[in-house]
Amino acid sequence: MNRALKTALSTIAIAQFLKIPLKKWETGEWHWGYFFETGGMPSSHSAGVSSLATFIALKRGVRTVDFALAALFGLIVMYDAQGVRRQAGELAIRLNDLAEEVMRLERDPKQALYEKRKERIRERLGHQPIEVVGGALLGIATGWVSYWLTKKKIS
């Protein structure tokens, strides 16, 4: 596996891991499941594509087709993370609220059986703009560190 890909995948893992202590700081509870969830701070999607673009820019230069592809791919991923996916998450919140309201209005004795079966729609799908920026900054930092470590080995 090449260094650029290792850098991007490692950065995604770091970003996912960072969600756990950040959520602990926010809520006061440890929840290790955040490692496997989408959404939240920092955006692992933004971190991964930013680290890849940064590594390529430093290794090959910003005037190469490699960097152009990585940068364009990164911009599309970050736009999608804070745009379409975020809107889908907000829609899921509204649908879940609506389902709870319908259950309250029904007042059906059989409702307990329904509550056991029902599944909530996933709400954490996208990112707030600050989460995308946080991921991008993490990616730039890890891309730079990875390039620096590669350069140091060559020297």
- pLDDT, tens digit (0-9, with 9 covering 90-100), for 9-56: 999 999 999 999 988 888 888 888 878 887 778 999 999 999 999 999
What is the distance between the alpha carbons of residues 26 and 30, in angstroms, rounded to a whole number?
10
What is the distance between the alpha carbons of residues 126 and 21, in angstroms, rounded to a whole number?
19
C-alpha separations of 126 from 34, 37, 38, 145 in Å: 14, 10, 7, 27
What is the distance between the alpha carbons of residues 27 and 120, in angstroms, rounded to a whole number?
21
- pLDDT at residue 81, as a whole number: 79
- pLDDT at residue 153, as a whole number: 74
Angle at 100 between CA 94 and CA 104, to 5 degrees: 140
Q: What's this model's pTM, rounded to 2 decimal places? A: 0.70
**pLDDT tens across 52-101, in order?**
999 999 999 999 999 999 999 999 998 887 777 667 767 777 777 777 77
HSE-up (13 A, CA, CB side) for residue 99: 14
